[in-house]
Structure 1
């Protein structure tokens, strides 16, 4: 009798295991972009995080996501109510804050896939960017507009022109770059940077470029939109 009981126990174990493994996967996509008055806030790929919490679901930790270069994000979720937040000190912008000056949460009700654009206020934006290539010399002209003024204003530490052979362009991903210190800027509305594009192997007749602004006391840079340039 004892042997029969053991046999039955082992017979049913695979069935229980199958049931445990057959929970439905999350199928709702929450996506959108982080914007300033519908204007793109350019970021370094996968550097600025956002977090989603689902209260009362038994999961205390955050569901982590991050922004792409164009400020877009995407998260695969179960339907339900979530709290969305960008952690303190993250991003070259100011997120919604509560009375204590701490980043506030945004309540999100997920019921099927949906688009939710997020609004933030960047310290600076790079605008009117024009690239001109002559041979292997690439020149960028642009302006840097200060958005946050007053007591919360921050100075420009430096401005960079980055060039890469792929669409990922930043201080970490580039084959060439040029830097201008913030102290050397006399007119932020009329800036120009020039860089020499090195030999690319295998050969290609185009590059990708972006302008980045490093802000004093802020870890993450703000970037201009990605641009493909024919050489």
Structure 2
């Protein structure tokens, strides 16, 4: 584990996108139960996290809109500041043992920033199946549903706002289509080849151009 005093120097010397996958922002010890936290930028521009204590930073934008799951101390507050443009939001979240928590930065009305927290327990592992989740963070999409693209087959139906559904599926090359109120919205999203034993998330978020989908692989940082 890298000492927190070295973290700032490493951050100054290496690209943030590379460090996000390998260096935990928050210290944890081997005797503590595992808990997992990731950050997602579901808005335009750059979302930056500054961790309390270490002062370490993580920037999310473009193709690096989602961090890996970072190992954090279970049952203890994780604090910091999220910044997008001129907007700031205080981070204060506690992750329970065995819990996977996703903190999402969204564009609110005007230039405002909204932050949502989605929690799940990973209890569906299969070495033979892929695990896929659908997060709904868009209140404008009625009865948010995700179909297999080109087929009238629902993978997820009527996911509630700020909620999610997860299921095991056969490994395959998959594209998905969003439906709001029973009608297709936007173009299909190609997820690529889903691999057995791996976990994936599809997220629905609002944007200036309407509801949009994006994906993240649920990888735990080393």
- The answer to whether TM tops 0.5 is no
- Whose helix proportion is higher, 1 or 2? 1
TM-score (norm 1): 0.31
* Structure of greater Rg: 1
TM-score (norm 2): 0.31
